[in-house]
Amino acid sequence: MRKNSVIDATQVKWSHPMGLKTLSQIFDVHRNTMSKWLKDQVICNQQLSPRRWRVATYELPNEYEEDFMHL
């Protein structure tokens, strides 16, 4: 998916809710970087609570994407 493209949120497949630490491990970045990415929408995400987010499955690295495709 290209950056800056308009996405219909009803057609996005989402991961299960995850915390910042888990997301930073999945994307192999520091927690501060992950926090900035979530805030700036560098990766497509939805904040569900102050400490939980879900990300679009197409944003996940390939080794995780298939794990979340059934959600």
The answer to whether residue 22 is domain-embedded is: yes
The number of residues making up the chain comes to 71
pTM more than 0.85? no
The answer to whether residue 6 is domain-embedded is: no
The answer to whether residue 7 is domain-embedded is: no
Give pLDDT, residue 71: 47
The answer to whether residue 2 is domain-embedded is: no
**Tokens 């994407």 sit at which residue?**
65
The answer to whether residue 3 is domain-embedded is: no
Q: How many CB atoms lie within 10 A of CB 1?
A: 9
The total number of structural domains that make up the chain: 1
**Tokens 């915390």 sit at which residue?**
19
Instruction: Determine the structural domain holding residue 59 and report its residue range.
Output: 13-68
Tens digit of each residue's pLDDT (9 = 90 or more) over 10-66: 789 999 999 999 999 999 999 999 999 999 999 999 999 999 999 999 999 887 655
